[in-house]
């Protein structure tokens, strides 16, 4: 009497199914893989036993499954270590001023704002306009002709009449005329980090102005 195995799935079949997209529930751990391989040997057709080559191939598959599982465990440990290290590094940012791409910031206690402008091409007359929270222009700074690159600027916190302006959030607009067309450029301004968050996307700095930016957006720590 022969044992009918037409409905029995081999280890190879199950391994292929487990690695197929959408079959998360059939993923095999090394213990389950070994149990299935032993069950297959115990229930094989005695008239047509598994060939040595097939058995060796299944052992190799078992080694692969075990290696992948060990690699996943190592990666999980590495990620946990990285998160802990990132949290320690992030704490050093709290209370510091950082330079980020934004056109609005608060007037600092010393009564001024300093930042940088990204100029992709040479310009003949670069101009910086300072506007208060009501959209009114309080000062305009002429920076002259500039080559490509980051251009530093500083505003002393004085209005066009030479009087100190009140503490407020101010908007900075940088522009120049290029071939008769007004071009506006990216401005980076300082803001204070009040807290940090560790997310799946990485380190996020929460700023005094209410914005949150990823660490990759920080151009400078002041």
Q: Which residue has the higher pLDDT, 179 or 19?
A: 179
Rounded to the nearest 10 degrees, the angle between the axes of helix 52-91 and helix 30-42 is 170
Distance, in Å, from the CA atom of 115 to the CA atom of 169, rounded to the nearest integer, reads 15
Looking at residue 58, its pLDDT comes to 65
Looking at residue 140, its pLDDT comes to 94
Q: Is the pLDDT of residue 169 over 50?
A: yes
Q: Is the pLDDT of residue 25 over 50?
A: no
Q: Percent of the chain scored above 90 by pLDDT?
A: 27
Looking at residue 47, its pLDDT comes to 65
- Segment 87-140, tens digit of pLDDT: 666 678 888 889 999 988 888 666 788 899 999 999 989 999 999 989 999 999
Looking at residue 55, its pLDDT comes to 60
Residues 6+ apart with CB under 8 A from 57: 12
Looking at residue 18, its pLDDT comes to 47
Looking at residue 117, its pLDDT comes to 95
Looking at residue 87, its pLDDT comes to 66
Mean pLDDT of 14-24: 48
Looking at residue 120, its pLDDT comes to 92
Q: Percent of the chain scored above 70 by pLDDT?
A: 67
Looking at residue 48, its pLDDT comes to 67
Looking at residue 11, its pLDDT comes to 47
DSSP codes of every residue in 103-169: SEEEPPTTS-EEEEEEESS-EEEEEEEEE-TTS-EEEEEEEEEE-SEEEEEEE-SB-TTSPBPPS-E
Q: Is the pLDDT of residue 155 over 50?
A: yes
Looking at residue 4, its pLDDT comes to 39
Looking at residue 39, its pLDDT comes to 76
Q: Residue 11 phi/psi, 5° resolution?
A: -60, -40
Q: How many CB atoms lie within 10 A of CB 166?
A: 10
Rounded to the nearest 10 degrees, the angle between the axes of helix 30-42 and helix 11-19 is 150
The distance between the two most distant Cα atoms of the chain, rounded to a whole number of Å, is 107
- Segment 33-51, tens digit of pLDDT: 667 767 776 777 666 666 6
Looking at residue 101, its pLDDT comes to 92
Looking at residue 214, its pLDDT comes to 86
Q: Which residue has the higher pLDDT, 55 or 92?
A: 92
Query: What is the chain's percent helix, strand, coil content, to nearest 5?
Result: 30, 35, 30
Distance, in Å, from the CA atom of 21 to the CA atom of 81, rounded to the nearest integer, reads 30
In degrees, rounded to 5, the angle at the alpha carbon of residue 48 between the alpha carbons of residues 44 and 53 is: 85
């Amino acid at each position: 009497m022969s044992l009918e195995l037409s409905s029995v799935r081999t280890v190879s079949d199950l391994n292929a199914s487990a690695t197929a997209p959408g079959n998360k529930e059939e993923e095999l751990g090394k213990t389950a893989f070994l149990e299935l391989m032993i069950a297959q040997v115990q229930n094989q057709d005695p008239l047509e036993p598994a060939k040595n080559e097939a058995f060796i191939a299944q052992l190799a598959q078992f080694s692969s499954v075990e290696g992948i599982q060990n690699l996943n465990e190592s990666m999980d440990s590495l990620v946990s270590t990285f998160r802990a290290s990132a949290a320690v590094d992030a704490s050093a940012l709290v209370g510091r001023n950082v330079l980020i791409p934004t056109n609005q910031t608060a007037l600092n206690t010393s009564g001024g704002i300093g930042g940088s402008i990204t100029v992709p091409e040479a310009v003949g007359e670069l101009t910086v306009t300072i506007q208060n929270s009501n959209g009114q222009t309080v000062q305009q700074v002429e920076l002259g002709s500039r080559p490509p690159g980051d251009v530093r600027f500083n505003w002393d916190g004085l209005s066009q009449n030479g009087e100190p302006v009140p503490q407020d959030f101010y908007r900075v607009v940088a522009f120049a005329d290029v071939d008769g067309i007004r071009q506006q450029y990216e401005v980076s301004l300082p803001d204070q980090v009040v807290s940090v968050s560790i997310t799946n996307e990485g380190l996020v700095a929460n700023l005094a102005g209410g914005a949150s930016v990823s660490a990759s957006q920080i151009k400078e720590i002041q």
